[in-house]
A and B are shown apart, each in its own frame.
Chain A
Amino acid sequence: MYKYDNYDQQMVDTRVEEFRDQVRRRLTGELSEEQFRPLRLQNGLYLQLHAYMLRVAVPYGTLSSAQMRMLGDIADKYDRGYGHFTTRQNIQYNWIKLEETPQILADLASVEMHAIQTSGNCIRNISSDQYAGAAADELIDPRPYAELLRQWSSFHPEFLTLPRKFKIAVIASDTDRAAMRLHDIGIQMVRNDAGEIGARFYVGGGMGRTPMIGPMVREFVPLDQLITYSEACLRVYNRYGRRDNKYKARIKILVHELGKDEYTRQVEEEFQHLLSQGIEPPIAELERIKQYFVDPAFETGLSDELDLSDPDFRLWVERNTEAHKQAGYVIATVSLKPVGGIPGDATADQIRLMADLARDYSFDELRVTHAQNIVFPHVKKADLYTLWQKLDAAELSTANLDTIGDIIACPGLDYCSLANARSIPIAQKISERFVAKQEEIGEMKLKISGCINACGHHHAGHIGILGVDRKGKENYQLLLGGSEGADTSLGQITGPGFDEDGIVDAVEKATEVYLAKREGDERFLDTYRRIGMAPFKEALYG
């Protein structure tokens, strides 16, 4: 894992003291809310439906056990005993007090964490593949490049007031586990024909009210030009992105309106100019960063055998583990989606337990996934049963990864001031309704957003649900056919929306069509793509 150097630590510590003074001035009335609002947002402090909400950055979703333990302690000490892991691999606390916020930030800084750039029109937390550094199918570990981008984008003076917020994802395998092409910039680390590692750039993806899949703008950017090319992409956006209309201000609109070719031409022109300016950090800096991401001391010669005689353990292994690049090890995912639970929520005790288990069984490391789950990236297979037993005792052993119970849901109208409808109760009802059918349905990505901003990624769900306000009543639109993987696609709305119970029935009808029509090993998504929308519409509205 990356460790702060003195410069990183000083920068974060200074920011804490700066915010401490800003809060003091707000509380004494020296600053009005109008003056204070942008300052608190720059430190991740929102005003939500019930209270202040603090969003803490988890760079590329990677946490040490000490950091995870601190997140649990903060939940206990300053919040109401729980935290909410988000679809951007971060964590949010829903009941924060303004006067305690500087001390929370100081506590975070003590474990090399912060809440900087988790809000506002700047480059947000860089996200990545939650299996980075562990996956059997990855080319290289993408996190050193994400870290280089994090350092470049942190406090970048030119990009702190962009037309709109800006999200970057970096992956390094063909299996996209980070919804890379639905980001403002999606980067895939690739190898070219000459055997060199570089970056493939996709620009102009996004969800929200105008979902778009980012087109590829450059096949290969050499490693020693990664920052320069990123800077060129941002500069063109910063120069021409629409500031007159926030709904048209994201880079996806610029790329769409200019056209990919013209946007790319302008980026290339800017890129050539920037190459002459010498802004690229020395490759030695990338090499320095890489040293923090070397493999842990894996044991060799380990057996890949697992005793699967316990049927509950077997099911969990089948559902919640993934192949590791190192023989004798496995990647294990903790589902934060218990049946009837709140997606992404974990209690302080559960957070601390996961911290302890990471220390004992996963080389001190955890990952937050954009699907709101937690990963132990490096578990020795010989330890897996013990790990599972400890998770099970803490109600953290739900075996439903990538099934209909593993629902992404935004906080919705239960917590969010932007939401139009509640997301969580829909997720709870669906997970309860389908628990017995989960295995029969198989792989299913079901995603729920409580408003058009799409924090619940409903456009990218095999089944997506969008909550809207219809004359003061919650109403839910159903979408089918979205995907965020390597086969990225956007879901299509089936037709008129449903009420709270009706949407759960509608999901059931859609799954019944799938079960009746599927061929062979088809997933729901495959069947939908083969037979199209018509049979589903007939079942829903016919």
Chain B
Amino acid sequence: MKILTGNDLKSGAVVWWDGQGWSLHVDDAIDVADQGAQLIAREEGAQNVFAAYVVDGEKTAEGVRPAHIKERIRALGPTVRPDLTLKPADPAALNWVI
């Protein structure tokens, strides 16, 4: 699947296109198929996001997972600071990243 990611303008936070808007959680990402470029133009133009691009992903039993390690680390947070990831209370959260 193709998933769309970018950064929130004010916070710089990593966000994912969920079909209606931008989510902090990669699990919410949808397959944008061949609509990526069109969505990027629209959403960046509306100042909803910046630095947007499409990456390869996979729908697994646990949720949507980007194909490349860099995007997986982007999706959750620094592997060396679990307390700063999106799921600080979940010790297993990083298992799918590496």
A interface residue numbers (CB < 8 A to B) = 26-27, 29, 33, 47, 49-52, 80, 95-99, 342, 413-415, 419-420, 422, 424-425, 428, 472-474
Known A413-B70, A415-B78, A472-B68; judge A51-B44 contact (CB<8 A). no
Quick one: which of A49, A424, A425, A474 has the most chain B CB within 10 A? A49
- Bound-state CA distance A202–B55 (Å) is 44
- Bound-state CA distance A99–B13 (Å) is 13
Known A51-B12, A97-B11, A98-B9; judge A80-B67 contact (CB<8 A). no
Q: Which residue of A lies closest to B13 (CB)?
A: A51
**Does B79 touch A at the CB level, under 8 Å?**
yes
List residues of chain A with CB within 8 A of the CB of B9: 26-27, 98
Quick one: which of B77, B78, B79 has the most chain A CB within 10 A? B78
The answer on a CB contact under 8 Å between B13 and A414 is: no
The answer on a CB contact under 8 Å between A342 and B80 is: yes
Total A-B pairs, Cβ < 8 A: 64
**Does B37 touch A at the CB level, under 8 Å?**
no
List residues of chain A with CB within 8 A of the CB of B11: 51-52, 97-98
The answer on a CB contact under 8 Å between B70 and A49 is: yes
**Does B29 touch A at the CB level, under 8 Å?**
no
The answer on a CB contact under 8 Å between B78 and A414 is: yes
Q: How far is the CB of A167 from chain B (nearest CB, A)?
A: 26
List residues of chain A with CB within 8 A of the CB of B30: none
List residues of chain B with CB within 8 A of the CB of A47: 7, 12, 51
Known A47-B12, A414-B80; judge A473-B44 contact (CB<8 A). no
Q: Which residue of B lies closest to A420 (CB)?
A: B70
Interface residues of B in 15-71 (CB under 8 A from A): 44, 47, 50-51, 67-70
The answer on a CB contact under 8 Å between A428 and B80 is: yes
Q: Which residue of A lies closest to B77 (CB)?
A: A50
Q: 1/0 contact trace for B63-98 toward A, CB 8 Å?
A: 000011110011001111100100000000000000
The answer on a CB contact under 8 Å between A98 and B10 is: yes
- Bound-state CA distance A533–B66 (Å) is 40
The answer on a CB contact under 8 Å between A50 and B69 is: no
Q: Which residue of B lies closest to A422 (CB)?
A: B79
Q: How far is the CB of A426 from chain B (nearest CB, A)?
A: 10
B interface residue numbers (CB < 8 A to A) = 7, 9-14, 44, 47, 50-51, 67-70, 73-74, 77-81, 84
- Bound-state CA distance A52–B11 (Å) is 7
Known A47-B51, A413-B70, A474-B69; judge A80-B10 contact (CB<8 A). no
The answer on a CB contact under 8 Å between B12 and A33 is: no
- Please classify the interface of chain A as helix (H, G, I), strand (E, B), loop, or mixed, using the class held by over half of its residues: mixed
Q: How far is the CB of B37 from chain A (nearest CB, A)?
A: 16
The answer on a CB contact under 8 Å between A80 and B84 is: yes
The answer on a CB contact under 8 Å between B80 and A50 is: no
List residues of chain A with CB within 8 A of the CB of B84: 80, 95
Known A33-B44, A428-B80, A473-B69; judge A49-B13 contact (CB<8 A). no
List residues of chain B with CB within 8 A of the CB of A49: 14, 70, 73-74
Q: Which of B10, B47, B68, B78 contacts A50 (CB 8 A)?
A: B78
List residues of chain A with CB within 8 A of the CB of B69: 413, 472-474
The answer on a CB contact under 8 Å between B10 and A33 is: no
List residues of chain B with CB within 8 A of the CB of A472: 67-69
- Bound-state CA distance A414–B70 (Å) is 8
List residues of chain A with CB within 8 A of the CB of B14: 49-51
List residues of chain B with CB within 8 A of the CB of A425: 79-80
- Bound-state CA distance A500–B73 (Å) is 16
List residues of chain B with CB within 8 A of the CB of A52: 11-12
The answer on a CB contact under 8 Å between B50 and A33 is: yes
| 28 chain-A/chain-B pairs, Cβ below 8 angstroms | A27-B9, A27-B10, A33-B50, A47-B7, A47-B51, A49-B14, A51-B7, A51-B14, A52-B12, A97-B10, A98-B9, A342-B80, A342-B81, A413-B69, A413-B70, A414-B73, A414-B79, A414-B81, A415-B78, A420-B70, A422-B73, A422-B80, A424-B78, A425-B79, A425-B80, A472-B68, A473-B69, A474-B69
List residues of chain B with CB within 8 A of the CB of A414: 73, 78-81
Q: How far is the CB of A118 from chain B (nearest CB, A)?
A: 17
- Given contacts A80-B84, A414-B80, list 5 more A-B pairs with CB under 8 A: A29-B47, A49-B73, A51-B14, A97-B10, A472-B68
Q: Which residue of A lies closest to B51 (CB)?
A: A47
List residues of chain B with CB within 8 A of the CB of A424: 78, 80
Q: Which of A33, A99, A428 contacts B51 (CB 8 A)?
A: A33
List residues of chain B with CB within 8 A of the CB of A98: 9-12
Q: Which residue of B lies closest to A99 (CB)?
A: B10
- Bound-state CA distance A27–B74 (Å) is 24
- Bound-state CA distance A445–B24 (Å) is 40
- Bound-state CA distance A80–B77 (Å) is 13
List residues of chain A with CB within 8 A of the CB of B51: 33, 47
- Bound-state CA distance A313–B14 (Å) is 45
List residues of chain B with CB within 8 A of the CB of A27: 9-10
Quick one: which of A50, A52, A419, A420 has the most chain B CB within 10 A? A50
Q: How far is the CB of B45 from chain A (nearest CB, A)?
A: 9
- Bound-state CA distance A50–B81 (Å) is 12
The answer on a CB contact under 8 Å between B73 and A97 is: no
List residues of chain A with CB within 8 A of the CB of B73: 49, 413-414, 422
List residues of chain A with CB within 8 A of the CB of B44: 33
- Bound-state CA distance A29–B9 (Å) is 10
